[in-house]
Amino acid sequence: MKVLEVEGLHKSFPIRGGLLQREIGRVRAVQDVSFSIERGETLALVGESGCGKTTVSRCILRALPPTSGAIRFSPQDGTVVDLAPLSRRALRPLRRHIQMIFQDPYSSLNPRMLVGDIVAEPLAVNGVGSVEREARVRALLDLVGLPQSARTRFPHAFSGGQRQRIGIARALALDPRLVVADEPVSALDVSVQAQIINLLLDLQDRLGLSMLFVAHDLGVVRHVSDRVAVMYVGRIVEIAPTRSLYSRPRHPYTEALLAAVPKPDPELRDQAAAPRGEVADPANPPPGCAFHPRCPFAVDLCRTEVPKLRETTTGHMSACHRAEELTLTGVA
């Protein structure tokens, strides 16, 4: 049972210039992205900065209008709505079903509101009565491991990790069908990252959360995600179950990302093969496969034809012309 199904999503931003602000080009931030999330499943969306992963998540949240494509969302069992063409007004009743966990725990909490009011705000906005609201806030604080005394305090009294817990409590307040977590741990200290990851794992178990987990490296997502989608310059280049992707990547870019994950073994340190060169400019991507200028395995075909995302083994999709013939190294 699918909670979310994205099909052929495109998003481009116009580049304007000159006296009359005429459009002089387009940044194709997201091109032909398709994926789906099952109920109770966590899909990780991974890529370097500028690859379009945040744009994808903002389009799903409809903080941005997509240029084309369909975002089919199921707010309850048996109904499916396409979010892509909906107006601001039509979206409002659906907002409660998709909530977001923000990257920066400092800017995402209003410093002028008490923590209790921050967590209760989604409830208040959606017409939950004050008695019920208070009980719910208590339960939520317990759920994310914050003391009850937090309710009468301001966010500035809390550390980054605790603030992220407040943000998670707020996201869960309305019992959303889907949670979009936009790099929820990348602004935190490594030791705190583990605590928040564990909290998310715990919540997956207890609440059966469906989650889109956006991250910029493959290190953190291994533990939380069921499947991983890797993006490069606006396109998904590989999407596979976590275990399969880590052990046997089918795209040279994924291999490079895996090599960049820090390993606790000093013997292995120097084997990391970072990809050469810079990330391609999405306003002016190279012809053919966008990764070919950095790819050690590129052949002539890669320079002329854009590879299609196709199934290589069961459930494992890759967008590489040479996916079948290459043997790429993953991690154990």
Partner 1 sequence: MSASLTDDRMAQATQLQLTWWRFCRHKLALISLGVIVTFYVIAIFADFLAITDPHATDARRSYMPPQAIQLFDADGFNPHVNGLKGVRDLKTFKMTFAPDQGRKLKVVMFAHGYEYNLFGLIPTDRHLFGIEGGQPVDGIFLLGTDQLGRDVYSRLIVATRISLFIGLAGVTLSLFLGVMLGGISGLYGGWVDTIIQRVIEVVRSIPTIPLWMGLAAALPNTWSVTQVYFAITIIISLVGWTELARVVRGRFLALREEDFVIAAELAGAGQTRIIVRHMLPSFLSHIIAAVSLALPAMIVSETSLSFLGLGLRPPAISWGILLQDAQNVQVLSGAPWLLVAAAPVILVILAFNFLGDGLRDAADPYG
Q: Which of 33, 44, 174, 221 binds partner 1 (CB under 8 A)?
A: 174
Please tell me whether residue 199 binds partner 1 under the rule CB under 8 A.
no
Q: At what angle do helices 130-143 and 160-172 cross, to 10 degrees?
A: 130
Please tell me whether residue 148 binds partner 1 under the rule CB under 8 A.
no
Please tell me whether residue 147 binds partner 1 under the rule CB under 8 A.
no
Pairing of strands 235-241, 227-232: antiparallel
3-state DSSP assignment of residue 94: helix
Please tell me whether residue 59 binds partner 1 under the rule CB under 8 A.
no
> Near partner 1 by CB under 8 A, which window of 154-162, 202-210, 232-240, 251-259?
154-162
> Are 43 and 226 within 8 A, CB to CB?
yes
Pull the structure tokens for residue 313. Answer: 């083994």
Q: Of the candidates 148, 318, 295, 146, which has an alpha carbon nearest to the alpha carbon of residue 229? A: 318
> Near partner 1 by CB under 8 A, which window of 152-160, 230-238, 271-279, 298-306?
152-160
Using the minimum distance from each CB to partner 1, give the nearer residue, 121 or 217. 121
> Are 42 and 208 within 8 A, CB to CB?
no
> Near partner 1 by CB under 8 A, which window of 37-45, 149-157, 281-289, 296-304?
149-157
Using the minimum distance from each CB to partner 1, give the nearer residue, 136 or 227. 136
Please tell me whether residue 130 binds partner 1 under the rule CB under 8 A.
no
Please tell me whether residue 55 binds partner 1 under the rule CB under 8 A.
no
Using the minimum distance from each CB to partner 1, give the nearer residue, 17 or 111. 111
Q: How far is the CB of 212 from partner 1 (least distance, A)?
A: 14
3-state DSSP assignment of residue 248: coil
Q: Does residue 151 come out as left (phi exceeding 0), alpha (psi in the -120 to 50 range) or beta? A: alpha
* Strand partners for 235: 232
d(CA 150, CA 47): 35
Binding to partner 1 by CB under 8 A, coded x per residue (else -) over 76-115, reads ----------------xx-xx-xxx-x-x--xxxxxxx--
d(CA 58, CA 53): 9
Residue count at the site for partner 1 (CB under 8 A)? 30
Please tell me whether residue 3 binds partner 1 under the rule CB under 8 A.
no
> Are 40 and 58 within 8 A, CB to CB?
no
Using the minimum distance from each CB to partner 1, give the nearer residue, 66 or 307. 66
> Near partner 1 by CB under 8 A, which window of 150-158, 240-248, 268-276, 277-285?
150-158
Q: Give me the amino acid identity at 4.
A: L
Q: Of the candidates 256, 249, 258, which has an alpha carbon nearest to the alpha carbon of residue 296? A: 256
Please tell me whether residue 121 binds partner 1 under the rule CB under 8 A.
yes
The b-or-e profile of 67-96 (16+ CB within 10 A means b, else e) is bebbbbbbbeeeeeeebbebeeeeeeeeeb
Please tell me whether residue 136 binds partner 1 under the rule CB under 8 A.
no
Q: How far is the CB of 210 from partner 1 (least distance, A)?
A: 16
The residues binding partner 1 (CB under 8 A) are 61, 63, 92-93, 95-96, 98-100, 102, 104, 107-113, 121-122, 125-126, 152-154, 156-157, 167, 170, 174
